[in-house]
Structure 1
Amino acid sequence: MSVVAGIGWHLVGAASAAAFYAPYKKVQGWSWELMWSIGGLFSWIIMPWLVTMLLVPDLSAFYSNIPISTFAMLMFCGAMWGIGNITYGLTMRYLGLSMGIGIAIGLNLAVGTLLPPLIRGQLGALVHSHGGSLTMLGIAIALVGIAIVTYAGNEKEKVIGERAQEFNLRKGVMLAIICGIFSAGFAFGLDAAGPIKAQSEALGINYLYVAMPAYGFIMGGGALVNFLFCGYNIFTNREISVRHDLSLSKSLMTRNLLFTAMGGIMWYLQFFFYGWGEASVPERLGYINWMLHMSGYVLFGGVIGLIMAEWKGVGTRPVRILIAGLLVIIGAANVVGLGMAA
């Protein structure tokens, strides 16, 4: 195991997460619900089970030794994560992009990082150890960095005149809190996947892949919630017409399918490399994995925004604030690395 490799793989996964929506922006003539469902089919169903089947020669024998309660917990945590996905989008609607991301991701980072060791009664011991105190400091610095990036986003919105679709501070903050708690369900699911990881190790699966056979169940729970949400919208919203969406020209349908598949696969890859990062981080510091992922998400979201010229024309001040926030997040990752090595 390598601490540096663990941080590196988490950053690779975070970069994939930050960039996954770019292919979706190329989709034309499809409702968001159809696009999201088809992309989700690739990210939540096809990819996790394809990887699992490549790793595990006999699925029935592999899972036969796993307690039913483990599968139920993984599906439950995945459903939590799915609710977090939906409320994340609604948070943007009521708070705007920058404020919504700042509050939701900040809460997500804190909850997903601190709650698992708190539930296990290990938080006090972690805080009082030298390495643990450094990693807690890293978490605090990361939250400061996210706050700075959020402030930069607010300054950008003021300059270019962006507004939330239906600004409602009370409703938006409530949804952001729900998102921050429920989106951390994926981290809780991996924390509950111990029996599957142990079975993977017993089978001789490379340590980088031991968590992968749990993904199909965690993402399956999330898929169920998202598919139900999209299906409900499709059947109750008269402005959405699947018949129209599927009547496009063959070339445009093929193009849309390729872009949605690309976006879905990139969304899955964030957790593929998250699994590599988690496997590379020492088990005693496993609680830090979610922090690395979420802070990396914000970091690369800012970088990709600069590359794609989303900050063009806003002046130098918001960009300087953004860069300062990104540097603080990079510093937080380094402090966490010191804590992991201590």
Structure 2
Amino acid sequence: MDLSLLSGALIVVFAGLFLGSGGWPIKLMKRAKYEHFGFVSILASAFIGPWMVTLLFCPNAMQAYKSVDTAVFIKANLFSMAWGVANILCMKSLMRIGFCLTGGIITGIGVSIGVTLPMVFKGSGLFRNAPAPTSPAGLIVLGGVIMMMLGVIASLLAGVGRDKMLQKAQKISRNFIVSLLMVVLGGILSAGVSFVFIYSQEPIVAAMKSYGAGEIPANFAVWAAGLVAGGLINLIYTAWLMTKNKSWNILCSLKDSGLSIIMGINIMLAIALTGKGMLMLGAFGASVGLGIQQAMQMIGSQSVGFIGGEWHGIYGKPRNQMYASIALLIFAAIIMACGNGCI
């Protein structure tokens, strides 16, 4: 594996760990609930952050945008809209069937679609040359996906076992089929955020560079234009919840709002790093980068849980299953990286 591929792999590893552990500020919040930190963090990550970088570091950014075919922005925002809906379905599913089932199903379905689809329907730019699923490299990467699915299942079982030991097992909604359909749909739509970059980056990046922008600001410009629809869906939903619960005043808490902004910065940087890492991984970067990022994201979130005391006093089978999950996820990431090196 050459230096560029290795650097790309390390960047998506870091991005996944960064995104997975990015929820740590929630543990320090006193009053803020989902609608509060969701509103502020999305505002920071999908709007303020990307647009500040784009407008400050991409010369004549609006002129560059005007030179791009409108269909590119429509396509990007349709994917973004899917991601926005997935976020809402995820939160509603958490309340209906609990964290373990929701997290496991969404991650499993999301990574399967996110890794496989760019092999079949080629992305933009260098992603057009991605190997087919039946190619030797494609089969290796799909093997990594299977390994990752085993890791997701082990994590799910560990979470269920932990909740039983803590006597915190979630009550399952009476309408379980509807809840299950919601979380499955959320998993399908969750890959949309990565597809924003995979299928729209080339024309936007080229336009920004033609006006003098550097590589990194040009990549941010893709997210700035592409996350608008998904960001708006999340802002409208969380604003509606705050209005319904008459809790807008909680945003006045400087500590909680500050922590929410930190969450937003974490999300923005992790998403931007994922895009950059995908490009450095080459033609297969869309599939391999997303797969590695998702595996590391799960490890990052579990690390926060361990450090935060969620596994304090939990031993035996559930803890061993969690260790097995982490090992399987690391192994899956290595397999995917090897598949990328076989092109």
TM-score norm. by structure 1 comes to 0.90
**How much does 1:291 deviate?**
1.4
Q: Flag the 1:210–1:287 CA change in 2: closer, same or farther, 3 A.
A: farther
- Tell me if structure 1 keeps the 8 A contact 2:160–2:169: no
Alpha-carbon offset, residue 118 of structure 1: 2.5
Q: Verify the 8 A CA contact 1:100 1:172 in the aligned structure 2.
A: no
Q: Structure 1 residue aligned with 2:227, among 216, 219, 223?
A: 219
CA distance in structure 2 between the partners assigned to 1:184 and 1:54 by the alignment: 29
Identity among equivalent pairs (%): 20
Matched residue type, 1:265: I
Could you say which residue in structure 1 is the equivalent of 2:186? Answer: 179
Contact conserved, 1:92 with 1:164, CA < 8 A, in 2? no
Once the two structures are TM-superposed, the CA of residue 127 in structure 1 deviates from its matched residue by 2.7
* 1:141 counterpart (144, 147, 166): 147
Measured in 1, the distance between the counterparts of 2:267 and 2:198 equals: 20
Contact 1:135 1:339 in 2 (8 A): yes
C-alpha deviations, 1:239-273, integer Å up to 9, x for none?
Answer: 3332x436x6xxxx222221111111112121021
Alignment of 1:1-342 (within 5 A): 2-120=4-122, 126-164=132-170, 167-168=173-174, 169-193=176-200, 194-203=202-211, 205-207=213-215, 210-235=218-243, 237=244, 239-242=245-248, 244-245=249-250, 253-342=253-342
8 A Cα contact 2:61 2:208, kept in partner = no
Deviation string, structure 1 residues 27-81 (Cα, Å, up to 9, x no partner): 2334532332122211111111122224311112211210111111112211111
Whether the aligned pair in 1 keeps the contact of 2:60 and 2:211 (CA below 8 Å) is: no
Whether the 8 Å contact between 1:94 and 1:171 is mirrored in structure 2 is no
Change (3 A) 1:308 1:24: closer
Give the Cα separation in 2 of the matches to 1:95 and 1:179: 13
Instruction: Report the count of equivalent residues.
Output: 334
Measured in 1, the distance between the counterparts of 2:225 and 2:130 equals 31
What secondary structure, in the 3-state scheme, does the structure 2 residue paired with 1:66 have?
A: coil
Cα RMSD of the aligned pairs, angstroms, is 2.3
- Unmatched segments (≥5 aa) in structure 1: none
Distance 1:111 1:240 in 2: 39
Please list the CA deviations of residues 71-127 of structure 1 after superposition, one character each: whole Å capped at 9, or x if unmatched. Answer: 111122111111111111122222211121111110011111212333349999623
- Once the two structures are overlaid, the 10-residue window that deviates more, 201-210 or 269-278, is 201-210
Cα pair 1:96 1:167 within 8 Å, conserved:
no
Query: Contact 1:81–1:183 at 8 Å: present in 2 too?
Result: yes
CA distance in 1, matches of 2:178, 2:330: 32
Mapped partners of 1:132, 1:30: distance in 2:
44
Q: Quick one: distance in 2 between partners of 1:338 and 1:127?
A: 15
Q: Verify the 8 A CA contact 2:43 2:235 in the aligned structure 1.
A: no
- Distance in 2, Cα, partners of 1:53 & 1:305: 37
The answer (yes or no) to whether the contact 1:93–1:165 under 8 Å persists in 2 is no
Q: Secondary structure at the match of 2:226?
A: helix
Give 3-state SS (helix, strand or coil) of 2:59's partner. coil
